[in-house]
DNA sequence: CACTATACTGTTATAATATAACGTCCTGGG
DNA sequence: CCCAGGACGTTATATTATAACAGTATAGTG
């Protein structure tokens, strides 16, 4: 079995989160430059909001924040920015929550798997290529040509396991 | 690697679909009897509609059909029936589509994985315990206690692969 | 520098998905 | 029969997402 890597560990405890955000924004900046994409003020701000905590953010929560910024903002404002960030590989959508998280490994192509804590909502992103390949292979056995995978696991993170 | 089983194969071609539905309803009937659950007229009808084709059905499409039946029906009517069927293990929700499919193996406890054709929307359900276990195990390595998994794979089924 | 094509954003309206809250009715167990 | 709980009807509303079109900014070109 190939080793899995952890693209984004749980970060429920205290850590220098400003640093997380700064790093994510800097990586996004350079990823966009490399790909010739326009990392505008709005997109940057939306990404910053997605990264504001290590939990999935809802589109309308982001919208509320934008409005608090004093910016004229309506649903399309945030959905368009999110679509851009998704296409650019800078955020992931959590289908089972209708919410968005920052990508733990922008630039490095990967098929992420997500662990989501029911209690505190914290999310971790792992990259287990062996699992992704096994799924693709099983699908192939049925004549199915897989192109994308959604893998989301719910449960309790270690911190919440203790207190539960 | 453990062998995967196919709980519900693709059925895009012609087959005796009435038989599919009858079987599903009969299995549901007996599963409910075994568990002391009430398989009412409404719940039976909703399950029949979920099974009406081998593609995921949307809640509001089911609602439209119920209304066509002449029944007084509003969103809670269908969502309550779907919640019952989900709890009873008779249908699955496809998170990435906000839609519902009949369960291919009611009674047998399993963690399903879904293959969804982008072209024709057909769905297959497989049960690959090795994959489910590998995910649970990887999660455990991060101190995460997994309880549910959402695994949905999009791509092209064999029929659509040919014509694409 | 002006021009223009294109991408980005603002704005209004509306579609699609889902739940809250409360009342009535039905059904099974005492 | 009675009644307790579950199932269903009904109205209203919350949540999530997109369509359509107008105005603005920006990069590339001449």
What is the maximum alpha-carbon separation in chain A?
Answer: 54
Q: Which one of B93, B149, B153 makes the best mutation probe of the A interface by having the most chain A beta carbons within 10 Å?
A: B153
pLDDT tier, A107 (very low <50, low <70, confident <90, very high otherwise): confident
Is the CB of residue B36 inside 7 Å of nucleic acid strand D?
no
State yes or no: pLDDT of A13 exceeds 80: no
Instruction: Answer whether residue B1 shows pLDDT above 60.
Output: no
Contacts of A145 in chain B (CB under 8 A): 155-156, 161
pLDDT over threshold 90, residue A2: no
Q: For residue B129, what are the domain limits?
A: 5-163
Residue B12 in this model has a pLDDT that exceeds 80 = no
Provide the Cα torsion B33, B109, B5, A141; round to 10°. Answer: 110
Cβ–Cβ of A153/B148 closer than 8 Å? yes
Rounded average pLDDT over A26-43: 96
Bases of chain C below 7 A from a protein C-beta are 7-14, 16-21
Mind listing the pLDDT tens digit for each residue in B64-120? 999 999 988 999 999 999 999 999 999 999 999 999 999 999 988 889 999 999 999
How many angstroms from the chain centroid is the CA of residue A8? Answer: 9
Average pLDDT, chain A: 94
What is the spatial distance, in angstroms and rounded to an integer, between the CA atom of A36 and the C1' atom of D28? 14
Question: pLDDT tens across B46-62, in order?
Answer: 999 999 999 999 999 99
B78 touches strand D (CB under 7 A): no
pLDDT of residue B2: 58
Residue B162 CB neighbour total at 10 angstroms: 9
10 Å Cβ neighbour count for A161?
A: 14
CA-to-C1' distance for A58 and D3, Å?
Answer: 45
pLDDT band (50, 70, 90) for residue A164: low
B143 and A152 within 8 Å at the Cβ level: the answer is: no
Which residues 87-146 in chain B have a CB closer than 7 A to strand D? none
b/e sequence A36-48, b meaning 16+ C-beta within 10 Å = eeebeebbbbbbb
- A12 pLDDT exceeds 80? no
The mean of the pLDDT values for chain B is 94
Taken in order B80, B112, B37, B147, the sign of the CA dihedral is negative
Which nucleotide is at minimal CA–C1' distance from A82?
D17
> Which residues, 6+ apart, have CB-to-CB distance to B147 below 8 Å?
A118, A154, A155, A156
- Distance of C1' in D1 from CA in B42, Å: 29
Query: pLDDT value at position B58?
Result: 98
Long-range contacts, stretch A66-73, CB < 8 angstroms, 24+ apart: A69/A45, A71/A42
Average pLDDT, stretch A31-47? 97
Per-residue pLDDT of A114-142, as tens digits, reads 999 999 999 999 999 999 999 999 999 99
How many structural domains are present in chain B? Answer: 1
Tell me the mean pLDDT in the region A3-16.
86
pLDDT score at A1: 54
For residue B136, the model assigns a pLDDT of: 98
Residue A52, classified by CB atoms within 10 Å of its CB into exposed (0-12), middle (13-18) or buried (19+), is middle
Give the integer Cα–Cα distance in Å for B40 and B42.
Answer: 5
Query: Chain B residues with CB inside 8 Å of A135's CB?
Result: 113, 128, 131, 151, 153
What is the four-CA torsion angle of A55, A155, B104, B81, rounded to 10 degrees?
A: -70
CATH number at residue B138: 1.10.10.10
* Reported confidence tier of residue B14, pLDDT bands at 50, 70, 90: confident
Nucleotides of D under 7 A from a protein CB: 6-13, 15-20
Q: Which residues on A lie below 8 Å from B113 (Cβ)?
A: 135, 138
- In this prediction, residues A138-153 reach a mean pLDDT of 97
pLDDT tens-digit map of A70-97: 988 999 999 999 999 999 999 999 999 9
Three-state DSSP state, B88: coil
Question: Beta strands B113-117 and B145-156: pairing type?
Answer: parallel
């Amino acid at each position: 079995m190939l080793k899995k890597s952890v693209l984004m560990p749980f970060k429920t405890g205290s850590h220098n989160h400003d640093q997380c955000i700064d790093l994510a924004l800097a990586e996004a900046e350079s990823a966009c430059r490399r790909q010739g994409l326009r990392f505008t003020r709005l997109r940057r701000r939306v990404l910053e909001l997605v990264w504001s905590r290590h939990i999935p953010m809802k589109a309308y929560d982001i919208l509320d924040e934008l409005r608090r910024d004093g910016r004229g903002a309506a649903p399309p404002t945030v959905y368009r920015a999110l679509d851009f960030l998704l296409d650019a590989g800078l955020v992931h959508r959590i289908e089972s929550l209708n919410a968005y998280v920052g990508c733990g490994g922008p630039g490095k192509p990967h098929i992420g798997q997500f662990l989501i804590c029911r209690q505190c909502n914290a999310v971790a992103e792992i990259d287990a290529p062996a699992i992704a390949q096994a799924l693709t292979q099983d699908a192939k056995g049925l004549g199915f040509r897989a192109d994308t995978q959604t893998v989301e696991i719910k449960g309790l993170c270690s911190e919440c396991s203790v207190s539960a």
